[in-house]
Structure 1
Amino acid sequence: MDPHLLRTFVTVARLASFSEAARELGYTQSAVSQHIAALEQDLGAPLLTRRPVTPTTAGERLLEHAGPLLLRLDAARADVARMAAAPQHGLTLATTPTGLGPAVLAALPPAGVTVRVLARAEIPAAVATGTADLGLVDGPAAPSDPLRLPDVAPLTTHGVAEEPVSVLLPTGHPLAGRAGLRLGDLADARWLDAPDAALPLAALRAANGGGALRSALRYEGTDLHTVTALAAAGHGLVLLPRSAAIAVPGTTAVPLTAPRLVHRTELLHGGAPGPAAAELVRRLVGGGEGVSSGPPGER
């Protein structure tokens, strides 16, 4: 398939408008219609209804493939451009809020770094497409187990830190005096669902053998202070790395004792990192070899 036609199709489907897609892409509306017609002829199936503009069943299936395909094309372009470009002196680091643990903060150079806090799912794509030189992803895992990351491009991963995790509770919570907590005993508790600012509730459910953990409030953002303030106000429990959970006003951090989980942080880069990025990799992982990423679970 012609990637230009595919990109036009994705844009029309996202905006639900031929005219808006033409404006965003810099084409005439007639050219956009011709692109869609050519793609439909190539695939032998209608992809969009016209009034209203919505994907057909075949179009929905194509959209599932189109996003990863276009991302891989952008990643390939960025990878080649990175090799051909002059060396950069600074670096851009994409990270989750909880990815900036003590080890990472101690390794950051005193100048020349731009830190971008992104949603977890956005970080591998940012590194693959060159909008970030390095990425920090994190999450709960069994000790020494790698994280499961999306297969967006050939990326190299390095494990850089592991630390214990704690459940953050309001100071007056009935369980705040416990020496430790088991996840299975908290199935009926009220939880905060903050997938991009705390450790994702979906990952905790998986670690709990698929057992339900009830979400009382969902926070869609990346501000860790907001999450801890919500927990302190009694809007739900939240699991955090120990370094982020201790000494939060109005809360008590109780270690999670079962299942055996740690907060794991991994560093991502594509190709050969530039001088500044390579120096940060050296500081964080030494001379150890990274692991090239493949499909999730096969790195």
Structure 2
Amino acid sequence: MDPHLLRTYVTVVRLASFSEAARDLGYTQSAVSQHIAALESDLGLPLLTRRPVAPTPAGERLLEHAGALLLRLDAARADLERFTAAPRTTLDVAASPLALTARTVAALPATGVTLHALPRERVPVAVATGEADAGLVDGIAAPSDPLRLPDVAPLSATAVAEEPLAVVLPDHHPLAGRPGLRLDDLVDARWLDAPAAGVPLDRLRAVHGGPAGRGFRPGLRYDGTDTRTLAVLAAAGRGLALLPLSAAQGVPGATAVSLVAPRLVHRTELLVPAGAHPEATGPVAEFAGRLKR
């Protein structure tokens, strides 16, 4: 299966248009049509309906494989290009919002740094494909357990920090006076749906282990990345939020109550390509060394 044809197919589906895909890829519309016809001929199946432009059932199944295949090819190209790349004097870091703490930011070199704030799932992709030299990704896990990261390419992950988790709720909330809270006590509460700024609700459902899709009902949806804004929304009674203890404290009108069960921590990891050696010289090594102090 020709990856160029596959990339054309994915673009046509994404834009639902042959002409738009041609503009996006820099091809003629005729070339795009030929790519799709060649891919359909290779697989012996129709992949697209033409009016409207939409994937057939077989095309839908191909899409389930296409993203991972193309990503892996991009990661392989980026990995091999590192063998001939000149030594870097600057540093590009991709980071999920909650991975940007006072400690991780202080570890960045003083100059020559570009910081990309990305959703959690995009950080490993950015490192694997060479968009970033290193990544900082966060998540919740059992103490000392590594994060479960998507298998996009061989990456080396190193623990940077672990800290307790706390539930953020208004001062006047009936549970605000508790010394600790169990996730079981909060299944039927109203939560803030903030996948970038807080712990995603689907992750809470997964670690709770209850019936699929049940519990932890969302109240207000917050699509921003500012953790303090999330805590302010919790203080205003718009829903509960689960945050690292350091991010949950010090917000007027809000109380941070430690999560005591299940035993979970907020974990931050440094990601670098598996072939990179943190002990070597250069900006990535300098950054990794500062994070270990």
Question: What TM-score range do you get, normalising by the shorter chain?
Answer: over 0.9
Deviation at 1:71, TM superposition (A): 0.8
Structure 2 residues not aligned, in runs of 5+: none
Deviation at 1:254, TM superposition (A): 0.7
Residues 225-282 of structure 1 show CA distances to partners (whole Å, capped at 9, x for unaligned) of 3322221221110000011111012211110111111001111111216710112112
The residue that corresponds to 2:56 in the other structure is 56
2:258 aligns with one of 255, 259, 276: 255
2:276 aligns with one of 272, 275, 284: 272
Aligned length: 286
Deviation at 1:102, TM superposition (A): 4.1
Residues 154-201 of structure 1 show CA distances to partners (whole Å, capped at 9, x for unaligned) of 111111110000001122212112111111011111101111111111
* Counterpart check, 1:90 vs 2:93: no
Secondary structure, counterpart of 2:177 in structure 1:
coil
Counterpart CA distance in 2 for 1:31 and 1:112 is 41
The residue that corresponds to 1:284 in the other structure is 291
* TM-score, with structure 2 as normaliser: 0.93
Q: Is the 8 A contact 2:249 2:256 kept in 1?
A: yes
* Counterpart check, 1:158 vs 2:161: no
CA RMSD in angstroms, aligned pairs only = 1.5
Deviation at 1:80, TM superposition (A): 1.9
The residue that corresponds to 1:219 in the other structure is 222
Counterpart CA distance in 2 for 1:247 and 1:68 is 42
Counterpart CA distance in 2 for 1:267 and 1:218 is 29
Q: Percent identity?
A: 69
- Which range moves more in the overlay, 18-27 or 170-179? 170-179
Q: What is the one-letter code of the residue matched to 1:281?
A: A
The residue that corresponds to 1:30 in the other structure is 30
The residue that corresponds to 1:293 in the other structure is none
Residues 109-162 of structure 1 show CA distances to partners (whole Å, capped at 9, x for unaligned) of 222222211101111110011111111111111101111110111111111110
The residue that corresponds to 1:295 in the other structure is none
**Within 5 Å, which residues of 2 pair with 1:169-208?**
169-208=169-208
Counterpart CA distance in 2 for 1:40 and 1:220 is 39
The residue that corresponds to 2:43 in the other structure is 43
Counterpart CA distance in 2 for 1:76 and 1:207 is 33
Deviation at 1:105, TM superposition (A): 3.1
Structure 1 residues not aligned, in runs of 5+: 287-299
